[in-house]
Amino acid sequence: MQTKAKEVTQKHEDYHHIDRPIAILGAGNMGSALMKGIINAKLTPPKKIIACDVNPVKLQALASEWKVRTTLDIKEAVKESDILLLCVKPQTLTKVLELMKESIRPNHLVISIVAGMRIAFIQQMLGTNLGIVRTMPNIAATVDEGAAAVAFGKHVTVEQQKIAKSIFEAVGEVVVVTEDQLDAVTGLSGSGPAYIYMVIEALIDGGVKMGLARDISTKLAIQTVLGSAKLAKSSGLHPAILRDQVTTPGGTTINAIHELESHGLRSMLIDAVATATRRSEELSKLMNNL
């Protein structure tokens, strides 16, 4: 436990301190998760964070729990911040960019988590020399175990790159990719939690089929996925080596592996990522009118 606390403290010490006003535009699931991450990692103090949303009840709750400033007015949020985190739904983005337009400054950093909306689209709406970062986080950011990829527009400075990475590092792991790789990121880690929930659900049912009570089976299935991921991450070993380490000749695991191979588990998951990637490309083309 102490080691864990030490790790967290060390991680926070490694962050790039921002200490500049940040506006969260759209304080929903992802926007509020990023806001909490920024505060917990002490990247910038709560009084320099402005949460902006259309829902006053949500804003009131965030202000009382996190001591952040709030507003219903996008223009005010933009005017009073240096860093703008775009966390609204794709269908709302054009309207929000329209409202942002008149208050935008050349030195603003715009970080978008909006799925499918390209840097060129945001640039066209807000200004061509603006620093724009496009990202694809995932829902696990809400429990500080997110997997995010960031892609930098050509006007993003080195300082702005550090700021953007720090925000997502505060809620999980971050990789840097080119913008055209974000569709594959969407297919893998953006949509990925849904695939893993299906795996968990099926493992639970397997346990129940073999006579375990549902609550016991649920606890074992979830912890098996969590523990396996943790071991893969902390050991740095290839998953095939870890699998071989728990596979006794003639034992139970090799029999189960044979069953999984004959049903094509690995091919299925590879195909799932590829199909989701292609769908992300299609949706992105539609959204950006390409």
Ligand X SMILES: NC(=O)c1ccc[n+]([C@@H]2O[C@H](COP(=O)([O-])OP(=O)(O)OC[C@H]3O[C@@H](n4cnc5c(N)ncnc54)[C@H](OP(=O)(O)O)[C@@H]3O)[C@@H](O)[C@H]2O)c1
Interaction between residue 113 and ligand X (CB under 6 A)? yes
Residues 136-175 touching ligand X, rule: CB under 6 A, are: 136-139
- 40 binds ligand X, rule: CB under 6 A: no
Residue from the set 22, 35, 37, 53 that interacts with ligand X by CB under 6 A: 53
Query: What is the smallest separation between the CB atom of 30 and ligand X, expressed in angstroms?
Result: 3
SS3 labels along 13-55 = HHCCCCCCCEEEECCCHHHHHHHHHHHHCCCCCHHHEEEECCC
Q: Does 190 bind ligand X (CB under 6 A)?
A: yes
Q: By three-state DSSP, how is residue 246 classified?
A: coil
Sketch the per residue contact string, 66 through 85, with ligand X: x for CB under 6 A, - otherwise: --------x-----------
Residue 31 amino acid letter:
G
Element at 148 (helix H, strand E): strand 146-152
- The number of residues that bind ligand X (CB under 6 A) is 28
Q: Are 28 and 46 in contact (CB under 8 A)?
A: no
The pairing of strands 22-25 and 131-136 is: unpaired
CA 81 to CA 111: how far, in whole Å?
Answer: 13
21, 22, 26, 111: which one binds ligand X (CB under 6 A): 26
Pair 40, 170: CB distance under 8 Å: yes
Site membership for ligand X, residue 22 (CB under 6 A):
no
Binding window for ligand X (CB under 6 A); candidates: 60-68, 103-111, 112-120, 160-168? 112-120
Tokens of 229: 């991921």
Per-residue contact string for residues 90-109; x = within reach of ligand X by CB under 6 A: x-x--xx-------------
Q: Which residues bind ligand X (CB under 6 A)?
A: 25-31, 52-55, 58, 74, 87-90, 92, 95-96, 113-115, 136-139, 190
